[in-house]
Structures are given as C-alpha cells and as structure tokens.
Structure 1
Amino acid sequence: MKKLIFIIVGIIILLIIIVLIKTFTYPFKKVNANTSDGWKMMKDDSAIQRLSGGLKIPSVSSGELGEFNYSPFDTIKQYLKASYPLVYQNTEFVEVNTYGLVFRLKGSNPSLNPILFLSHTDVVPPGEAEVKNKSENIFRPDDKPLPAVSEVSEEWDFGPFSGAVANGRIYGRGSIDMKGMLFSLLESMNNLIKTKHISQRDIYLAFGFDEEVGGQQGAAKIAEHFKNKNIEFDAVYDEGGLILEKGSVNGINSDVAVIGCAEKGFLSVKIKVKGLGGHSSMPPTESAIGKAAIIMQRLEKDQMKPTVTPLINQFFTNVGGSMSFVNRMAIANQWLLKPILLSQLTKNNSTNALVRTTTALTMMKGSDAPNVLSPEVEFVVNFRLLPGNTVKDVKQHIAEATKGFDVEIEEIDTVKEASAVSPTNTKAFKLIESAIKEIHPSAIATPYLTVGATDAYKYQIVGKNIYRFMPIKINNAEKQSIHSTNEYLSIENYMKMIHYFEYIMRNYDKQ
C-alpha cells in the first residue's frame, strides 16, 4: 500500500515539475515595455472638417435594399468628389452597381498583385429617441448647403448627424463604423498623390454601401467586378479588430491590437413546433409552446463543443505573457489542463464566442391571446460558426435537438460558412504589426477571430490574405457606442488612423 502511495505521489510531483517547466519555457510573446507614444500626432484641421462634413450626411441603410433612401448616397458621392479632387483626378475611378465606389492608384510594376483597402458609406440608424428637425451650417467644400437632416438629440452629446467637433472628438453616427476609416483611406491616398509617391504595386480602395444589411449589392458586386477582371490581391484590409485599451480585456494587462484573420459563419433558422391548439380552459398535457421550450432548453444546454482552434491558440500565445501565472500555466499545458481552460473560457460571453459555435435564441411567436393555445409556435435561433464547424454540422446539431417533435425548420437571413483563416507569416500581416508599432509601440499585436460579420468575407474570391483591423485605440465605453448612442472618434485616433494606412501604402514593398 505504501509503495502505491509513493508511486502516486511521485507521479504527482513529476506532473507538477513538467507543468512548471512547460509554463516557464512556453514561447509566450514578450510584452513590449516601450513606453514611448510612437508617431507624434499632427493635427490636420482640413482632414477633420472633411470627415465632419461626411458625418452630416445621413447615409442610413436599413431593411431591404428596395426600401433604401438613396438620396444621401447620391449626396455622399458628390461630397467625396468635391472633397478629394486629387484622388478622383489621379486614379481610375469606377462605380459598381451605382453606389459602390472603386479607386485604383496605379503602381510602377503591373506584374505585382495589388493591395485592397475596404470600407463602406452606409451607417446604422441613430436609434429611437426624441426627433427634431435641424438645419445647421453643414460643411461642404463647394459651400453649397446639404439638406436638413433629422437629429436624434436624446442620449447624444451632439446630434448623430451633427458632425460636431468638440472635446478632442468628432461626433456622429458612423464616426467609428465606419466613415472614419473611409475618410482616413482617402486622406492617405490623397497624401500619396500630393507627395508624388508611386508605389510598386497598384493600390485599390473599394467602398460598399450596404454592409450594415449584408453587403449583397455593394461588396459582393464589387468582388464580382474584380473577379471578372481576373484581379488577385496580395492583401485585403478591412474593419474587424481594434486596439483594446489596457484594462478592457479581463486578465490581460496591456493594450491589445486584435487583428481578425478569420470571421465566424452565420446561420439563422426558424423552427416551427406543432402541437394541439384550443382554449386554455382545456389544455392538452403537452402544448406546442411547452414542446418549443424543451427544444430551446436542449439548444442552450447542449451547445456545440468548444475547442481551442490554432488561430485562438496563437492569440493566447501572443497575449499570455501579460496574463497571470495561472492563466499562463493553463495555456502552456493544454495537454493536461485543456478541459479546465475551456471550462473557464466558456463561462465568459466574450471568450466563449472565441472557442465555440455560439447559440442565440432571438425571436419567438405563439398565440396572440392570453386564453388561446396556438397549434404552432415558432422561434428563431442564430448560430455563429467557429472555423472548423460547418453549416452541415449545425443542421445535424439542430436535428438532434428537435428529435421526437413535429417541427418544420427553415433557413432565414444570410447563410454563410465560417471564413478561411488567413496566414500570419505574410508580408501583409507583418506590415500590420509594423504599422501598429508605429502608432502604439506598447500594444501587443495578435491574430484574432472576428465574431461579427464584415464585407471582407466576400473578397475571398479575389484574395487569400484577408485581415480585419481598424487601427484605433478604444475603451469599453467607446466600444459600446458603436451601433449605439453617442458614437464618436477621437481626433488623436483619426490622425493616427490616417498615418497608419499611409504607412502601409508607402511601405508595402519595403518589407
């Protein structure tokens, strides 16, 4: 018996030694202790005013494309042309599907694959609040006034289409998502043209107009346009990740620049559950709504299995150096501690989304009266697919959850597989890291999984190196303002964003 105890104790001690050795020797990325601010911001009032004027144009996309108010999109086309005459005069410019905008700045070596930067002109609605009409002095280069717009004043420091510049910020719907990026790209290209810089390869800008409602008429048509012209891009850059301020990510004691190298897939299904209807005074033993409740409980309780994908493992390797010893130990010893690591990750909404296909019950409809039993109850469940899971896998998962019930299952909304995972050993990715270091030297740059949808997905038909990143440093409050109230972009972030994109454009072939 004593011998057995000694053997068990010896095994435990050996495991502890192995765990400690692996923890201390694991190749965590070293945290950059650089305390400098990097590139010093140089304020450009003209650039700020051009963005401010663009934010005053209420280019809202909502509902089906046929319900669009296209007038603001006509206005923004005119505004961009008036604001950036050098860009229009020195690039090949085409409109795709009327409102998709494509610019090509020719390089000196046509044999090199070009690079592509994406954005979109549409924004989400400003929200529901007290509405009043305003007719302000709306900036425009030709001094012609833009039409009056409806302003939502409640819960906004300034109106969502005011384009107000105050407190070191530029306020307005779309300042972050994503007119700030759109205007910074045009400013960067404008600076290249003004300084007569000629890149080796062509540089493209492509702006969709319906990204917020799926991008089928904007980005999808532009990608098809490139495909038909047999253009293959060396790199595609779009929105997705951000520079998350120190303290905004639990457990990470550093600024973290998360670069989306992939994005999750999307599947929404409507599940109709059938049962006996009738009057509530004589209910059946199992109602349709009760059956639906069982299915919903199954879907939430028995979700698809979590896993640490290679991309997320790379993320942990990069950020682990700024985490606690216990977290580093779990990351370095997944051979032993992976179940514990996954258990902790799935307890948090943000990290849970990184390691599994998520399940979200979003809508439900049954009887229209309190004393009537509906013979049919329907609900909607949305899945965001982890790379490695397929739509077929999710459908099989739904089939298991609905087994034993009379149901009809219908796909609704856009259905897409998870994107391909772009490599990190490319010139395109390394230049992102270099450009981040230029504007925020102390930030940890790391590949990441984008959990939301972007236009970038549609460009997989014309490029394999696709990266989703917007170079702005953001705190939790600012992050919450995206698609919500009081959205603003700091002037510092805007100036650094312009410099970031100009840096990539100028240095792409110097790496």
Structure 2
Amino acid sequence: MIQKLLLGAAASLLLLLAILMLRTAQLDAQDALAPPISRIELDDMALAERLARAIRIPTITRPETPIDPSAFAELHGLLAAQFPRVHAQLAVERVGDFSLLYRWDGRDRTLKPALFAAHQDVVPVEPGTEPRWTHPPFSGAIADGHVWGRGTLDDKSSLIAQLEAVEYLLAQGFRPQRTLYFAYGHDEETGGAAGAAQIARLLGARGVRFAFTLDEGSAITQGIIAGIDRPVAAIMVGEKGYVTFRLTARGRGGHASTPSAEAAIPRLARALARLDARPLPARLTEPVADMLARLAPYMPYPQRLVIANRDVFEPLLLRALARNDITHALIRTTQAMTVLRAGVKDNVLPTQAEALINYRLLPGERIEALRQHIIATIADASIDVTLAEGFGNEAPPPSDADAPEFALIAKTVTEVFPQALVTSGIILATTDNRHYAAIRDQGYYFVPLRYTPQEQTRIHGTDERIAITDYADMVRFYVRLFENAGG
C-alpha cells in the first residue's frame, strides 16, 4: 500500500512538472529583432540648442504658490519662434491661463483622434542644493554630451521633442489621416487642476473622444530588471492613485518636567508604528501580470518557470517582487510617512501632533476603504484621520495592452529602438493622463528616454540632464509615432 501511494505521488509530481515545463516552454523567447528602418537624419546639436533655450526658462510650480506669468509667457514666445510651421498650420489655443492645446487636423474626420501630452512646468530645486549641481539647474548648459537642467527629463524635453517632430513632418509636407491633438498643461507638478483637467473638460464639452492618449510615466530602462540585459521599453497601461491622509493627535500640554500619559507625540507615534507594522496586502494586478508574462521569455529559466505558473507560485512571486523597492511598489498600495509636525520648544509639551502619510493606490482600490483601514489599524478613536489638502484620486481603469493602439506604439518603439523589448505595466506615480480618462478609449504612458539606475536620483533631484544623442532619438521616435498614428 505504501509503495503504491509513493508511486502515485511520484506520478502526480512528474505530471505536475510536465505541465509546468509545458507552460514555461510556451514562453520561450523569440529573439529575432525588428527589421531596421531608415534612420531619420537630424541635426543633433541644433536640437540640443533649442531644447537648452526652453530649459533656461524657469517655469516652476509649487503648491500653494502663485505662478510666475512671465516665465510661461516667455516659454510660449519661444515655442512660437522656434516652431513657426506648427504655429502657422495647427490650431492653437490657450486654456486655463497658461496651458496650450494644439490641433493638427487630419484628412479623415471619421477616425477618432489621438492626444499626446506633456507638461510645461518643472519642480523647484531644493534650497541649499544648488552648489551640488555640475551646471546650474536653469543654465541649459550643453557639456559632456548632455543638456543639463531642470526639465531635461521631467518633462519639458518631451514637449519640445514633440513639437520638433511636428515641425519636421510639416516641412516634409506630411498631413495625418487622423486628427492629432497636443496638450501641454502648466501645473502637472501640483495636480493639473488648472491645466490638463480644464483641457479635458473643454474637449469633453466639444464632444471629442480619443482613440488613445499618450503621456509621460515610463521609459526605456536598462539594468533595472534583474536577469534582463537588453533595454526594456515599458509602455504602461495605467497609473496608481494618489492620496495623502493627515493624522492628528491631541493631548494635554504643559511643562516638560511633568509629562502627561496623554501626551500627543507618544499617541501619534504609537499609531504610526501600528500602520508601519501592517502594510496593505500585496497582489498582482492584471497589468503587472501581463508585464511579467511579456518579459518572462527573456529571463533565466527559474524566473520563467515561476511566472509561467503564477497560479501555483504566486505567493513566491509576490515575495520575490517585494524585495526590490520598485517592484514592491508594483504589487502594493504603498504607504509613505512623509511629514511630522509637533512642538515649538524643547521644554513645552505640545497639545497637538500631526503626520502626513502619502498613499499610491493600486487600480481598483478605494480612498474610503483605505481610510477605514487606517482607522482600524491605529485603533485610537481620539486621533483624527482626514484627507490632506491638495489633490487626491483613485487610479483610472487600466487600458488594454492587446489593443491596436498599444501595438501601434510598440511598432514605433521597435522601429526606432530595435534592440528594445516591449512590455506593459502600471506607473508608480501620477500624471496629467488621468484627467483624460473619461474622454478616451485607451490611455498609455511612455516617453522614449533611456533610463538607467544612475538616472534614478536625477528626476526631481540634482544634476538632471539628458544625453544629446538620446534626445535626438526621442525626436526620431515622435516623428515615426506621428506618422504611424496619423498614417
């Protein structure tokens, strides 16, 4: 009997292994590269010079701080001067004071239009860090093969590259079949309420509906994903939601020589410790599962085995993804304690202590359910849990990575960057693209920046820069994309 049981168990194990290997074999890589297309000849240094001029204009936005109208007026004047064909042949209007909307009319009005977005504004430089920059943050210096300055990565380079591509195509006599829109908000870094949100409302009121929208949010990475040496172009299909909660604890004040058992700071600290010990549960969303499935054929065999059989190995897969900060954020609504405020003097007990906690929500998760999780976890009814000022939103529904519009963008990637692997996924941040969710069929996130681990600290950080050759390839990408999208 025991021998029969052992034989039966062995047979079941062999059958399971055979099924797993069959599934894994179906993910074998097809390594044939896309056929090369003729390279678009551009003057790389002239492109760099025009980008540098835009970088020198400090179109900075800050929360709760008035916008400098002169900076945006200067940028608008520069755009009109540098791209005369664009401003002569496309319809241009200003929305919400400083945002810009361009329309390139297509020949076939029955085709749904497409929208390409970027933003004019940049984040400020952290006070006191200016001396750490190799070149001043708004110098637009061209040195060591790069253009240096705030906005070279996020996101002024994309805006200027798109207009370069349109100017180039107009000079070639190209006119799209499909109408193409270009939406350039002025306050993305502070939520987009006065910029992209107003553009979306305006277009919605006009009855415009897009086949797809494309905005920032992803790039061509290399050295980021373990086990893959080739560049990876991640055309993301969604973004996470964004909300910040304020936790406020109150307690008896008085002299620090007689601390109270009901002090505000210890009460708040206990609540924060409980939240830190109980993160939101990890789960694989469909876009992330699709991302892994697309990359699996190019990974070592053990990873392919796990991904091909994720219904069996999902707990193992989630644990592996949780070991890296970036992949951990793909599988969980993240919780970041970002601000603490309490007290005015070392010998005075504060009557109030507060903390701000920033959450990035996975698609499908609700802000109110998150608030209830916080209340239940801290288990202290005396602590107020409220939404912080500023913008907050749940994640828009993810788009379809199997749609023809995704394939169109992927085709363009392989034409311009034939070594790159194409995948999907969701971005970890928030963009203006979410404002267009109600007036589009599909929404995607991708800018053809080359992004390595060395670049991680440069976006919103010190020494933001872009390689001159990378920027020229960005322009080449948009030329081909507008040809393909408008074709």
Report the TM-score when normalising by structure 1: 0.89
- Of 354, 362, 374, 2:330 maps to 354
The alignment-based identity, stated in percent, is: 30
State the alpha-carbon separation in 1 of the partners of residues 194 and 232 from structure 2: 34
CA deviation string 1:181-213 (max 9, x = no partner) = 111110111112111111111111111111111
**Runs of 4+, deviation exceeding 4 Å:** 31-38
State the alpha-carbon separation in 2 of the partners of residues 234 and 436 from structure 1: 19
- Aligned-partner residue type, residue 74 of structure 2: T
In the TM superposition, residue 242 of structure 1 has moved relative to its aligned partner by 0.3
State the alpha-carbon separation in 1 of the partners of residues 443 and 336 from structure 2: 27
- Of 309, 328, 339, 1:363 maps to 339
- Aligned-partner residue type, residue 336 of structure 1: V
State the alpha-carbon separation in 1 of the partners of residues 35 and 254 from structure 2: 70
**Contact 1:119–1:206 (CA under 8 A) maintained in structure 2:** yes
State the alpha-carbon separation in 2 of the partners of residues 342 and 41 from structure 1: 45
- 1:43 aligns with 43
Taking the TM superposition and a 5 Å limit, the aligned residue runs for 1:90-105 are: 90-105=89-104
**Contact 1:106–1:203 (CA under 8 A) maintained in structure 2:** yes
Taking the TM superposition and a 5 Å limit, the aligned residue runs for 1:50-69 are: 50-64=50-64, 67-69=66-68
CA deviation string 1:326-381 (max 9, x = no partner) = 22222122222111111121222111110011111111122323333333321111
**Contact 1:60–1:124 (CA under 8 A) maintained in structure 2:** yes
In the TM superposition, residue 95 of structure 1 has moved relative to its aligned partner by 0.8
State the alpha-carbon separation in 1 of the partners of residues 47 and 447 from structure 2: 18
Taking the TM superposition and a 5 Å limit, the aligned residue runs for 1:80-119 are: 80-119=79-118
In the TM superposition, residue 406 of structure 1 has moved relative to its aligned partner by 1.0
Q: Bigger shift: 31-40 or 403-412?
A: 31-40
- Of 346, 349, 352, 1:373 maps to 349
- 2:414 aligns with 437
**Structure 1 residues 471 and 341, CA, compared in 2 at 3 Å: closer, same or farther?**
same
**Contact 2:220–2:233 (CA under 8 A) maintained in structure 1:** yes
- Aligned-partner residue type, residue 260 of structure 1: M
- 2:164 aligns with 187
Report the TM-score when normalising by structure 2: 0.94
Q: Bigger shift: 175-184 or 290-299?
A: 290-299
CA deviation string 1:303-325 (max 9, x = no partner) = 11111111101000111122222
Taking the TM superposition and a 5 Å limit, the aligned residue runs for 1:7-156 are: 9-10=9-10, 13-14=13-14, 17-18=17-18, 20-27=20-27, 30-31=30-31, 39=39, 42-64=42-64, 67-129=66-128, 152=130, 154-156=131-133
State the alpha-carbon separation in 2 of the partners of residues 115 and 339 from structure 1: 40
Taking the TM superposition and a 5 Å limit, the aligned residue runs for 1:318-333 are: 318-333=294-309
- 1:506 aligns with 483
**Structure 1 residues 22 and 289, CA, compared in 2 at 3 Å: closer, same or farther?**
farther
- SS of the equivalent of 2:363 reads coil
In the TM superposition, residue 15 of structure 1 has moved relative to its aligned partner by 6.6
**Structure 1 residues 289 and 31, CA, compared in 2 at 3 Å: closer, same or farther?**
farther
- 2:385 aligns with 409
**Structure 1 residues 38 and 409, CA, compared in 2 at 3 Å: closer, same or farther?**
farther
- 1:267 aligns with 243
**Contact 1:422–1:467 (CA under 8 A) maintained in structure 2:** yes
- SS of the equivalent of 2:441 reads coil
**Contact 1:38–1:438 (CA under 8 A) maintained in structure 2:** no
- Aligned-partner residue type, residue 70 of structure 2: S
State the alpha-carbon separation in 1 of the partners of residues 108 and 404 from structure 2: 17
Gaps spanning 5+ residues in structure 1: where?
A: 131-151
State the alpha-carbon separation in 1 of the partners of residues 146 and 193 from structure 2: 33
Task: Count how many residue pairs are aligned between Structure 1 and Structure 2.
Answer: 486
Q: Bigger shift: 440-449 or 45-54?
A: 45-54
- Aligned-partner residue type, residue 49 of structure 1: E
**Structure 1 residues 469 and 330, CA, compared in 2 at 3 Å: closer, same or farther?**
same
State the alpha-carbon separation in 2 of the partners of residues 85 and 175 from structure 1: 22
**Contact 2:44–2:468 (CA under 8 A) maintained in structure 1:** no
State the alpha-carbon separation in 1 of the partners of residues 89 and 40 from structure 2: 29
State the alpha-carbon separation in 1 of the partners of residues 124 and 250 from structure 2: 37
Taking the TM superposition and a 5 Å limit, the aligned residue runs for 1:98-497 are: 98-129=97-128, 152=130, 154-245=131-222, 247-285=223-261, 287-412=263-388, 413-497=390-474
State the alpha-carbon separation in 1 of the partners of residues 44 and 230 from structure 2: 29
- Aligned-partner residue type, residue 385 of structure 2: I
**Contact 2:232–2:423 (CA under 8 A) maintained in structure 1:** yes
**Contact 1:54–1:76 (CA under 8 A) maintained in structure 2:** yes
In the TM superposition, residue 20 of structure 1 has moved relative to its aligned partner by 3.9
- Aligned-partner residue type, residue 64 of structure 2: E
- Aligned-partner residue type, residue 238 of structure 1: D
- Aligned-partner residue type, residue 189 of structure 2: E
In the TM superposition, residue 219 of structure 1 has moved relative to its aligned partner by 0.8
- SS of the equivalent of 2:218 reads strand
Q: Bigger shift: 347-356 or 119-128?
A: 119-128
In the TM superposition, residue 41 of structure 1 has moved relative to its aligned partner by 6.2
State the alpha-carbon separation in 1 of the partners of residues 144 and 37 from structure 2: 21
